[in-house]
Amino acid sequence: MSVYTPVSEGELAAWLANYSVGTPVACEPIKAGIENTNYFVTTSQGRYVLTLFERLPAEELPFYLNLMAHLARHGIPCPAPIADLQDRYLQRLNGKPAALVTRLPGRSLERPSERDCAELGALLGRMHLAGRSYPEYLENPRGPKWWRFAAKEVMPFLDSPQQELLSKELQFQSEQRFPDLPRGPVHADLFRDNTLFDDGRISGVIDFYFAGVDCLLYDIAVCANDWCLEEGGAALDAGRARALLGGCQSVRPFAPLERSAWSAMLRAAALRFWLSRLYDYHLPRPGMLVHAHDPEHFRRILDERVRAKAPWLT
Amino acid sequence: MSVYTPVSEGELAAWLANYSVGTPVACEPIKAGIENTNYFVTTSQGRYVLTLFERLPAEELPFYLNLMAHLARHGIPCPAPIADLQDRYLQRLNGKPAALVTRLPGRSLERPSERDCAELGALLGRMHLAGRSYPEYLENPRGPKWWRFAAKEVMPFLDSPQQELLSKELQFQSEQRFPDLPRGPVHADLFRDNTLFDDGRISGVIDFYFAGVDCLLYDIAVCANDWCLEEGGAALDAGRARALLGGCQSVRPFAPLERSAWSAMLRAAALRFWLSRLYDYHLPRPGMLVHAHDPEHFRRILDERVRAKAPWLT
C-alpha cells in the first residue's frame, strides 16, 4: 500500500479547519497509486480525496491543480480542487505539499466494450476542447527528453533484442516531427483504472499528475494501447480502436495530419510506458512501496505497433 | 409559469456546442422563480440549469456568477457556473444574457426541524467564511437605499396603521449603525425553497441573484424569519432559532456586537421582504407571469419583531 506519510485523525481535523468543507467523518488510506499518498476523506459536507505529494516537483503542482480546476469548471468530470480559506488549492500537511479534491463516483472497467471506448473518445474530445483555453504550460514530463534519459539508464539491464528494439524506436521517433498537430494539455495516463464509469457513462477521469502539453493525438494513443487491446494480446482490436477514434471525431474532427501521425503516435505511447516500467522495475526508488508493473507487457505492445498497421477510422 | 424567453431544442443544441458538456438529452422549463427564465437541461454528461437573465443589470451578473464559482470551489454546495469554450461564464442566448450552472440534487423542506436549522446555520457559517476571500463587491441590492425608494412607491397603497409601521421602522433602522459587524458576500434570500436537502444534509443552496455584500448577521436574520417561525404564526420558535444560531456559531463564533445587533437585524430582514412584496403586489411589472406573494405575511413578522424580544443563543 502506498501511504508514505501517515495522517492522524487529529492532524486531519486541524488541517480541515482551513477549509469550508465541514467536519471530518471518515478517513481511509487509498492503496492504489505509487507516486503520492492518498486518502479518501468524508466530511459532513461530502466526499473528497486528500493527496500528499511525495515526489512531484513543487513548482509543477499548480499546473496540475489549476488544470483540474479549469477542466472541472468546463463540465469535465475530473476531480475539482477545493480552495482553502486563503483561496489556495495547494496547502501543506505533515511536511508535504497537499491538496483536497472532490471524490468522483463510479468504478473503472476491466473489459471496456466498443460503446465504452466511444464514450471515452467523446470525453477525450471534450477534454481537449476545454483544455484549449487553459493558459498554463508544462511540457509533457514523460516526453522525448525523458525517453532519452530513461533509455540510457535502463539500457544496461536489457538483452540484446530489447536493446535493439529500444535503440531503433528512439531513432525512429527522433525522425518524426509533427509541429503542426493540434496540441494542448493532455492527461497522458488515461488508462482504464483512471476512468470511472457509472451507469454506462464516464463519471470521472482521475489522476492528472502525468499531464502536460503535448499532441492531443498522443493522449488518444495512450488510451488505445490500454483500452483497445485484443483479449490477452498486444494487437489493437480494430472495433474498439475505431470506436475510440469515432468518439473523439464526433466532438473534435481530426485534422488530416493526425491520420498520418497515428501509427507513430501509438509507437511513442508504447515506448513511453515500456520505458517507465523498465525504469521502475530496474531502478526502483528507495522506499517505493508498490511492486513495479511488468515492463514486458509494453515491450510486446511496442513490438506489435512497429510491425502492424494501425486501424484508423475507416 | 415563468418562461419569458422560449428556447427551442435546436437553439439549445446549437448553443451547447459552445460548451464541453456533451449533447442535450432533455430540456424542461422551471416554473418557480419570477426574475429569470430557467430550464433544467440534461446532457450526455450531466444535469444543469440554464438561466436567461430577464431583468438583472448585465454589469451585475459577473458578481453573482463569480461568487457562485468561488463558493463552489470552496466546497459550498451551490450551483457551479460552467465555463464555455472561450472560458466565459456569461453567454448570450436568444438575445438575453445566459449562463449554464450545475443542477444540485435534493428537495426543499416545508417544515424544518431544529436539526435542519442547525445544519443550515453551519452551512451559513461555512459560506460566510468561504466568502471572505471573494474579491468582488456589489452592495446588497435590497439594502437601505432600496428600502427608501420602495417605501416611497408603496406608501400610497397602505392604510394608516401600515403607513405608521413602515415610517417608524424606516426611522428606527436609519438610527442603527453597525459599521463594525463582520461583513462579506451574503446570499440574502436563503428561504426554505432555496435550500435543498438530501438524506438529512444540505445538498444545495441555490438562487444567488439577490446576493450582495452586507452584514453576515443579516443573512442569518433572513433565514430566521423564514425557517424558524412558530407554526402558522409570525413569532420566532426559540428552539429552532437557537439551533440556527448555534449552527452558525459552531463554524464562525459570533462577535459580541452581533448579539446586540440581532434584534435590529431581524427587523431589517422583515422590512426588506415586506417592502419587496408590497412593491411586487401593488406595482407589478408589465408581463410579470407569477402572482406576487401576499405582503401581509411579512407585515405580521415585522410587527412581531418590533414587539417581541428575539431569542439569542442562551
For the domain that residue B187 is a member of, what is the CATH number? Answer: 3.90.1200.10
Q: How many helices (H) and strands (E) does chain B have?
A: 9, 9
- Cβ(B215)–Cβ(B178) under 8 Å? yes
- What's the one-letter identity of residue B171? Q
CA distance to partner chain A, nearest, from residue B80 (Å) = 7
Could you write out the DSSP letters of every residue in B238-288? HHHHHHHHHHHHHHSPPPHHHHHHHHHHHHHHHHHHHHHHHHHHHSPPTT-
Domain membership of residue B108 (yes or no) is no
Q: What does the block give as the cell for B302? A: 415585522
User: From CA B292, how far away is CA A122, in angstroms rounded?
Assistant: 46
Instruction: Say if residue A98 is in the same domain as residue A127.
Output: no
Provide, as residue numbers in chain B, all residues whose Cβ is less than 8 Å from the Cβ of A20. Answer: 74-76, 126-127, 129-130
User: From CA A144, how far away is CA A147, in angstroms rounded?
Assistant: 5
- Of the pLDDT bands very low, low, confident and very high (cuts 50, 70, 90), residue A290 is low
State the helix-helix crossing angle for B216-227 and B238-251, rounded to 10 degrees: 150
Domain membership of residue A4 (yes or no) is no
CA distance to partner chain B, nearest, from residue A23 (Å) = 10
- Of B102, B135, B168, the last residue of a domain is B102
Domain membership of residue A128 (yes or no) is yes
pLDDT at A256: 93
- What's the one-letter identity of residue B23? T
Question: Residue A238 is inside which H or E element, if any?
Answer: helix A238-251
Instruction: Say if residue B84 is in the same domain as residue B200.
Output: no
- Of the pLDDT bands very low, low, confident and very high (cuts 50, 70, 90), residue B291 is low
Q: Does pLDDT of B1 surpass 60?
A: no
Beta strands in B187-223 (DSSP E): 195-198, 201-205, 212-215
pLDDT at A137: 97
pLDDT at A77: 98
Residue of B nearest to A48 (CA): B75
Summary mean pLDDT of chain B: 95
| Least trusted range by pLDDT, from A110-119, A170-179, A237-246 | A170-179
Beta bridge partners of B107: B197
Provide, as residue numbers in chain B, all residues whose Cβ is less than 8 Å from the Cβ of A77. Answer: 45-46
- Of the pLDDT bands very low, low, confident and very high (cuts 50, 70, 90), residue A4 is confident
Instruction: Say if residue A88 is in the same domain as residue A217.
Output: no
Instruction: Say if residue B180 is in the same domain as residue B261.
Output: yes
Q: Does pLDDT of A288 surpass 80?
A: no
Provide, as residue numbers in chain B, all residues whose Cβ is less than 8 Å from the Cβ of A80. Answer: 72-73
Mean pLDDT of A25-49: 92
Cα–Cα distances in angstroms (integers) from residue A279 to residues A207, A275, A287, B264, in the given order:
20, 6, 15, 69
Nearest alpha-carbon partner for B190 in B71, B287, B19: B71
Which percentage of chain A shows pLDDT scores above 90?
A: 90
Among the partner residues B70, B75, B85, nearest to A133 by beta-carbon distance? B85
Range of the domain at B53: 9-102
Domain membership of residue A281 (yes or no) is yes
User: In total, how many domains does chain A have?
Assistant: 2
User: From CA B259, how far away is CA B271, in angstroms rounded?
Assistant: 19
- Of the pLDDT bands very low, low, confident and very high (cuts 50, 70, 90), residue A287 is low
Whether residue A105 lies within 8 A of chain B, CB to CB, comes out as: no
- What's the one-letter identity of residue A276? S
Q: Does pLDDT of B33 surpass 80?
A: no
pLDDT in tens, B242-261: 999 999 999 999 999 999 99
Whether residue A132 lies within 8 A of chain B, CB to CB, comes out as: yes
pLDDT in tens, B172-188: 999 998 889 999 999 99
* DSSP designation for B18: T
Instruction: Say if residue A95 is in the same domain as residue A213.
Output: no
CA distance to partner chain A, nearest, from residue B70 (Å) = 9
- Of the pLDDT bands very low, low, confident and very high (cuts 50, 70, 90), residue A294 is confident
Are B73 and A86 an interchain contact pair (Cβ–Cβ within 8 Å)? no
SS3 A237: coil
Q: Does pLDDT of A132 surpass 90?
A: yes
CA distance to partner chain A, nearest, from residue B268 (Å) = 28
Instruction: Say if residue A150 is in the same domain as residue A255.
Output: yes
Q: How far is CA A56 from the centre of its chain?
A: 14
Domain membership of residue A3 (yes or no) is no
Q: Does pLDDT of A106 surpass 50?
A: yes
Give me the residues of B, 18-77, that contact A with CB < 8 A: 19-22, 44-46, 69-70, 72-77
Q: Does pLDDT of B127 surpass 60?
A: yes
Instruction: Say if residue A77 is in the same domain as residue A177.
Output: no
CA distance to partner chain A, nearest, from residue B241 (Å) = 21
The alpha carbons of chain A give a radius of gyration, in whole angstroms, of 20
- Cβ(A304)–Cβ(A274) under 8 Å? no
Instruction: Say if residue B49 is in the same domain as residue B164.
Output: no
Instruction: Say if residue B139 is in the same domain as residue B214.
Output: yes
pLDDT at A286: 73
Domain membership of residue B4 (yes or no) is no
Provide, as residue numbers in chain B, all residues whose Cβ is less than 8 Å from the Cβ of A197. Answer: none
State the helix-helix crossing angle for A144-154 and A160-174, rounded to 10 degrees: 160
Cα–Cα distances in angstroms (integers) from residue B191 to residues A56, A251, B222, B228, in the given order:
46, 41, 8, 11
Domain containing residue B74: CATH number: 3.30.200.20
- Of A43, A76, A102, the last residue of a domain is A102
SS3 content of chain B, % helix, strand, coil (to 5): 45, 15, 40
Q: What is the pTM of this model?
A: 0.94
Domain membership of residue B2 (yes or no) is no
Instruction: Say if residue A161 is in the same domain as residue A273.
Output: yes
Provide, as residue numbers in chain B, all residues whose Cβ is less than 8 Å from the Cβ of A126. Answer: 20-22, 45
- Of the pLDDT bands very low, low, confident and very high (cuts 50, 70, 90), residue A3 is confident
pLDDT at A192: 98
Instruction: Say if residue A88 is in the same domain as residue A145.
Output: no
pLDDT at B3: 80
User: From CA B91, how far away is CA B82, in angstroms rounded?
Assistant: 10
Are B74 and A82 an interchain contact pair (Cβ–Cβ within 8 Å)? yes
The alpha carbons of chain B give a radius of gyration, in whole angstroms, of 20
- Of the pLDDT bands very low, low, confident and very high (cuts 50, 70, 90), residue A1 is very low
Q: What does the block give as the cell for A284? A: 526502483
Q: Does pLDDT of A289 surpass 70?
A: no
Domain membership of residue A312 (yes or no) is no
pLDDT at B288: 67
Q: Roughly how many angstroms between the first and final C-alpha of chain A, as a whole number?
A: 44
- Of the pLDDT bands very low, low, confident and very high (cuts 50, 70, 90), residue A45 is very high
pLDDT at A291: 65
Complex-level ipTM: 0.90
Which percentage of chain B shows pLDDT scores above 90?
A: 90
Instruction: Say if residue A75 is in the same domain as residue A95.
Output: yes
